[in-house]
């Protein structure tokens, strides 16, 4: 046999993967709780893995934390990507992304706390939410749906307001995440040149179901 199907991950591969995930999860929790100053020992304790195994996966605490933030942004971004895949109108893609981002806070509060602790830096991050939002805004301009003269400024407007929404939802766990997300999205669509009526229509359409996580 010269050609074999790819062999399934070995027991060692699976254990490596588990260790890596446990480290990432522990880092995510520390970042969400606003404790980036923990030691590697505290991280491996929280992850329930041996101290020595840390350096098999990451060169430094900073590298682990960077990977943890990238994982959060990428997870959030990919979830949104899947949710909007069925829509054609770029304005609706933008609207559904925003309306769902707020709603997802209720499902992923720890991820959102990581994002909030990262703060405005996520808006200049090259992964996750910012590049996708920029692409959506650009498509909306190209399709004549948005009236925008400066894409970067529009991204900062939308991204900043979105972080404001996530902070509000984090601070008020009992508030109606759906209603607040829809109101915020409608405001942004008006900031991007849509009429009150158009924005309201776009923000009252049915949404895809919340993803199973």
Among 40, 67, 156, 200, binds a copy of itself (CB under 8 A): 156
Task: Tell me the HSE value of 189 on the side-chain side, using a 13 A CA sphere.
Answer: 28
Number of residues forming the site for a copy of itself (CB under 8 A): 39
132, two tokens? 């996708």
Q: Going residue by residue from 89 to 128, which x/- string records binding to a copy of itself, judged by CB under 8 A?
A: ---------------------------xxxxxx-xx----
Q: Going residue by residue from 3 to 42, which x/- string records binding to a copy of itself, judged by CB under 8 A?
A: ----------------------------------x-----
Q: How big is the CA angle at 168 (ends 162 and 174), to the nearest 5 degrees?
A: 130
CA distance 104 to 165: 12
Among 27, 38, 95, 165, binds a copy of itself (CB under 8 A): 165
**Minimum CB separation from a copy of itself for residue 99, in Å?**
14
Among 108, 180, 200, 207, binds a copy of itself (CB under 8 A): 180
Question: Would you say 27 and 71 are in contact if contact means Cβ atoms under 8 Å apart?
Answer: no
Q: Which stretch binds a copy of itself (CB under 8 A): 2-10, 15-23, 58-66, 164-172?
A: 164-172
Among 47, 100, 163, 202, binds a copy of itself (CB under 8 A): 163
**Minimum CB separation from a copy of itself for residue 71, in Å?**
20
Look at residue 134 and give its three-state secondary structure. helix
168, two tokens? 């509000």
Give the nearer residue to a copy of itself in terms of CB position, either 26 or 177. Answer: 177
Q: Dihedral through CA 77, CA 81, CA 82, CA 87, nearest 10?
A: 150
Give the nearer residue to a copy of itself in terms of CB position, either 22 or 111. Answer: 111
125, two tokens? 């991050």
CA distance 196 to 190: 6
**Minimum CB separation from a copy of itself for residue 63, in Å?**
17
What distances in angstroms separate CA 85 from CA 52, 93, 96, 97, 138, one per listed residue?
43, 8, 10, 10, 17
Show the 3-state SS of 71-87: HHHHHHHHHHHHHHCCC
Among 35, 60, 82, 160, binds a copy of itself (CB under 8 A): 160
Interface residues with a copy of itself (CB under 8 A)? 37, 116-121, 123-124, 147, 149-150, 152-157, 159-168, 171, 180, 183-184, 187-188, 190-193, 196
């Amino acid at each position: 046999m010269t050609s074999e199907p790819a062999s399934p991950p070995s027991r060692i591969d699976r254990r490596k993967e588990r260790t890596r995930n446990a480290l990432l999860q522990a880092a995510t929790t520390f970042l969400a709780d606003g404790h980036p100053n923990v030691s590697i020992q505290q991280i491996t304790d929280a992850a329930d893995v041996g101290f020595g195994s840390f350096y098999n996966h990451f060169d430094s605490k900073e590298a682990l934390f960077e990977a943890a933030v990238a994982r959060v942004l990428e997870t959030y971004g990919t979830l949104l990507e899947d949710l909007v895949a069925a829509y054609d109108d770029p304005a609706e893609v933008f609207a559904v992304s925003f309306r769902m981002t707020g709603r997802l806070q209720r499902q992923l509060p720890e991820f959102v706390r990581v994002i909030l602790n990262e703060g405005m830096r996520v808006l200049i991050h090259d992964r996750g939410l910012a590049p996708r939002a920029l692409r959506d805004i650009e498509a909306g301009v190209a399709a004549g749906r948005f009236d925008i003269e400066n894409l970067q400024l529009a991204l900062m407007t939308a991204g900043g307001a979105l972080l404001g929404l996530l902070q509000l939802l984090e601070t008020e766990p009992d508030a109606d995440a759906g209603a607040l997300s829809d109101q915020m999205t409608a405001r942004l669509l008006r900031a991007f040149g849509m009429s009150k009526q158009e924005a309201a229509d776009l923000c009252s359409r049915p949404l895809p179901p919340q993803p199973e996580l």
